[in-house]
Structure 1
Amino acid sequence: MELVSTVRHDGDGGVLDDLGTVRGADRWLQRQPGLLATATGNLVVDEELRDAVIGVRRAVRALFARVVSPAPPSPADAHRLMPADEALAHLNAAAAQEPVAPQLHWPAQGPPTAGLLSAEADPRVRLVAALARDAVDFLSGPQREQLRACHAPRCVRYFVRSHGRQEWCKPSCGNRARVARHYERTRAADPS
């Protein structure tokens, strides 16, 4: 969800892309400590890495659109979505770039945990593969059924519905939607 949310509205009807520049991509990655932990080593964010991350995001947003269908997808990229079969192939290829082996960690005091041991030396490949694996886990998991596109005016986000009646990603979107509906009703009622 964090990666998909790097496309967001600017508050004025436009769309912002947190990954729009190499510097923006680096700032976003620095705010993802769990993701950076998978890419230990000398990780340098450059145009090639930014493009690879954006490629995974494009694939995930296309697959999110498939999940929410027949409801409309996010308006941010509905007009330029990657075909679902291409998105699936791209996501699987990105996840397969890193050979990993499951590892069991079991401290003397505490429960066992699972992790992955990577055979990949390049931290950039590990990072992109981790993003893709996270998306595979989400799309194949139970939260997928609660995925929705927010259709409040100017919003372009996807969100996981936390209760049965939730229609918007956050309260401010609900407020915007209610104000827009009220405006339309009063405008339709006023014939002048």
Structure 2
Amino acid sequence: MRTMSQRPTTPHTPAPGAEQHPALDFANSLLSLPTGPLDLLGTPEEATAWLLGHDLAPVGGRLYRPCTDRLHRLRGAVRELIGARTADAPAPPEALAAVNAALTATPSAPLLHWDAERGLHRALPHPADRIADRAMAQLAADAAELLTGPDAGRLAACGGAPCTRFFVRTHAARHWCSTRCGDRVRAARAYAKKRAANPS
């Protein structure tokens, strides 16, 4: 398995915990930057590259827009569940259903289908669907482990606005997902203090 250092570079380093939990990196793939939002899975090509970089798709595999849209919906559900966990709030039922659906979406045998041309027949899903289904099943399984395992109690939302990333706390006093976010918060506080001292 490739390490994070061998993955394609992204504008930000992974949040603490993302190396152990691809689902956390998946949830954080929609970034909120001071310059605006950045979606690392925005296009089918970007989504394919992200899955390849996380060993969740075969080399040469390719996603299309419908599968990319499904990934976006699963990411939204995972983000909702992590957000609820960090806020000690009930898990949203729709998000639970979406993750559970992804967990059970990968068939282990050809399923029965019917159409007017071929009648009753058995077939596996389209190859592109299989790539997405398998990746989503793995991400959903990792999200379930993250949300119920030993790291669940250390999940936190970054306190450095406008950042919307989640991370696993490395110590109780940690409030930010990165040094960059911490520096930005400290700089904003220093600026606000200076303004308050010199209102003119």
Instruction: Report the TM-score, using the length of structure 1 for normalisation.
Output: 0.74
Match of 1:150 in 2: 158
Q: How many percent of aligned residue pairs carry the same amino acid? A: 36
2: CA distance between counterparts of 1:48 and 1:158?
Answer: 26
* 1:34-183 equivalences in 2 (<5 Å): 35-36=56-57, 40=58, 43-69=61-87, 84-99=92-107, 122-183=130-191
Q: Aligned to 1:31, which of 53, 66, 91?
A: 53
The 3-state SS of whatever aligns with 1:9 is: strand
Q: Which runs of 4+ in 1 moved over 4 A?
A: none
| Aligned residue-pair number | 158
State the shift of 1:41 in Å: 8.7
Letter in 1 for 2:31: R
Aligned partners of 1:6 and 1:19 also within 8 Å? yes
Offset from partner CA, 1:166-192 (integer Å, 9 cap, x none): 111111111111111111111122232
Aligned partners of 2:52 and 2:59 also within 8 Å? no
Distance 1:41 1:16, change over 3 A: closer
Letter in 1 for 2:33: D
The 3-state SS of whatever aligns with 1:184 is: helix
Match of 1:116 in 2: none
How large is the Cα RMSD of the aligned pairs?
2.3
1:17 and 2:39 matched: yes
Letter in 1 for 2:45: R
1: CA distance between counterparts of 2:45 and 2:60?
Answer: 16
Distance 1:99 1:145, change over 3 A: farther
Q: Unaligned regions of 5+ residues in structure 1, if any?
A: 72-82, 101-118
Match of 1:111 in 2: none
